[in-house]
Amino acid sequence: MSEQSLDALEHELAGLLARVSPAERKKLSREIVRDLRNSQIKRIREQKNPDGSAYTRRKAQFITVQREMKFIWRGQQRSLKNWQQNKRMITGFDTDKGAVRSFRKGDIQRFVSVKKDRIKVKGKSKQTRMFKRLATARYMRIFANENEASVYFAPAAATIAAVHQFGLKERLRNMDIQYPSRQLLGYSPEDIRRIESLLIDFLAS
């Protein structure tokens, strides 16, 4: 069908809808928007953009494991395993004493070696699936009246949704993080076909 034919069809459908009562148009809007929200939720759970392409995957996540630390403390070499630290203290398993001990950083004369490992975190697909909370009716809201229908995110989720929808930057931990665009809301070809079908069925009834 040509673009001119589509424009003519839309004009004709608009004329037909104008003759339908506001209550009936509102009923149609509700049916369309509920169906559309369900399809958006399903697609997000499948991690796909409206055109069917897959979302850009998250970057690999790592955790740092403190293996071993050796340092000179009051003239003696100490060796700690599984250590942790804060601003003033270092705590870990002292291999010489066979017990967990804490050392003031100010008493440490120098560090001999510090061993850390970065381990890549691997999770199951369900654990790493993005936007699990956004893909729920709690955060994905709908609105419908006799003239329009819309799907939108609740205020509590709208900002983060926009960052991913448009591929914006977000400041986290004093760093600007650039996110790839992952389209959470949008019309897929199947969405358009279903809306057309609902509209035709409504007018034919």
Averaged pLDDT for residues 93-97: 90
Rounded CA gap, 40 and 131, in Å? 12
User: What is the pLDDT at residue 15?
Assistant: 77
Q: Give pairs for 144-147: CB < 8 Å, separation 24+.
A: 144/26, 144/29, 144/30, 144/32, 144/33, 145/26, 145/29, 146/22, 146/23, 146/25, 146/26, 146/29, 147/25, 147/29
Average pLDDT of 130-145?
Answer: 96
Indicate if the pLDDT at residue 125 is higher than 50.
Answer: no
Minimum mean pLDDT range among 56-70, 84-98, 99-113, 164-178: 56-70
CA pair distance 186, 52, nearest whole angstrom: 11
The pLDDT value given to residue 5: 54
Query: How high is the pLDDT of residue 4?
Result: 61
Task: Report the residue count for the chain.
Answer: 205
What confidence score (pLDDT) does residue 65 get? 63
> Tokens representing 58?
């998250």
Cα–Cα distance measured from residue 100 to residue 92, given in angstroms and rounded to the nearest whole number: 5
* Across 173-191, average pLDDT: 90
Which span out of 30-44, 70-84, 116-130, 170-184 was modeled with the highest average pLDDT?
Answer: 30-44
Tell me the pLDDT tens digit for each residue of 34-62.
999 999 999 999 999 999 999 998 876 65
C-alpha span between 141 and 51 (Å, rounded): 22
Share of the chain above pLDDT 70, in %: 85
- Tell me 134's DSSP state: T
How high is the pLDDT of residue 119?
59
Mean pLDDT of all residues in 72-81: 92
Residue 19 pLDDT exceeds 90 = no
Split at pLDDT 50, 70, 90, the class of 7 is low
Looking at residue 47, the DSSP 8-state letter turns out to be: T
Q: Tell me, what DSSP letter sits at residue 107?
A: G
- 3-class secondary structure, 153: strand
Q: Using CA atoms, how far apart are residues 136 and 41, in angstroms rounded to an integer?
A: 7
Domain boundaries, the chain: 20-56+130-204, 61-121
Confidence (pLDDT) at 101: 92
Contact 143, 149 (CB under 8 A): yes
